[in-house]
Chain A
Amino acid sequence: DIQMTQSPSSLSASVGDRVTITCRASQTVSTNLNWYQQKPGKAPKILIYTASSLATGVPSRFSGSGSGTDFTLTISSLQPEDFATYYCQQSYSSRWAFGQGTKVEIK
């Protein structure tokens, strides 16, 4: 099965900061890589699909890049509502897998 590894597991940042989260797959997933945001007590929401496509209604400060095994989620200017946990997820294989999550906290 394909394993997904995110880094860092957590980070502290200030409003206005540029934030980058990385996701690595144990084997190629092509561009079958998605990013989700989850806030405490809530269900996850799609942010980015197929590595770089912005989901409907998601602010343009969010962007995704990468292909193969290495991917990046970037928040260009962190806003108060962006403090949350972010997960990458591969849909390349029939058994999907999520990364362990990256918690973005207020500095």
Chain B
Amino acid sequence: EVQLVESGGGLVQPGGSLRLSCVASGFTLNANWMHWVRQAPGKGLMWVSRINTDGSITTYADSVKGRFTISRDNAKNTVYLQMNSLKDEDTAVYYCARDRNFCSSVSCGRWVDPWGQGTLVTVSS
């Protein structure tokens, strides 16, 4: 069974740091790009970051760029999100998700599936 399990969430003060982990099982992690997506309490989904198969390409949402760092250790089947200089507005459930892609004769597309169960990060003094 393909599964993603996040951990590392918790309560942290504004300005603090936290590192989230996402452990993959049931598939070959090093063959997949991976993403982090977050959801503030009662709000919608917000894409946070993505990383390619070997970690050489990373992309971030503007609101976290320069504060968050995505990385991966394929030998440990794990993807990370290092979050520094945390703000109140970073409070959310953070999901990791596997990138999927498909190309037809005319176009290619990407989506994420599956998602982990999420880990809650609360930034508050």
Contact = CB atoms under 8 A, between A and B. Distances in A.
B109 A101 contact: no
A32 B110 contact: yes
Contact of B44 (A30, A32, A100): A100
Contact of A53 (B45, B62, B102): B102
B47 A44 contact: no
A34 interface: yes
Interface stretch (B21-29, B66-74, B114-122): B114-122
Interface residues on B, range: 20 to 34
Interface string B62-92: 1000000000000000000000000000000
Interface string A36-52: 10100001111001110
Contacts of B114: 43, 45
Contacts of B95: 43-44
Contacts of B47: 89, 95-98
A31 interface: yes
Given A31-B109, A55-B113, A95-B61, A49 B102 contact: yes
Given A49-B111, A55-B113, A99-B44, 11 more contacts: A43-B114, A44-B95, A46-B111, A50-B111, A87-B45, A89-B45, A89-B111, A94-B59, A95-B59, A96-B50, A97-B47
Interface of A: 1, 30-32, 34, 36, 38, 43-46, 49-51, 53, 55, 87, 89, 91, 94-101
In the A-B complex, the 5 residue pairs with the smallest Cβ-Cβ separation, listed nearest first, are A50-B109, A43-B115, A96-B47, A91-B110, A34-B111
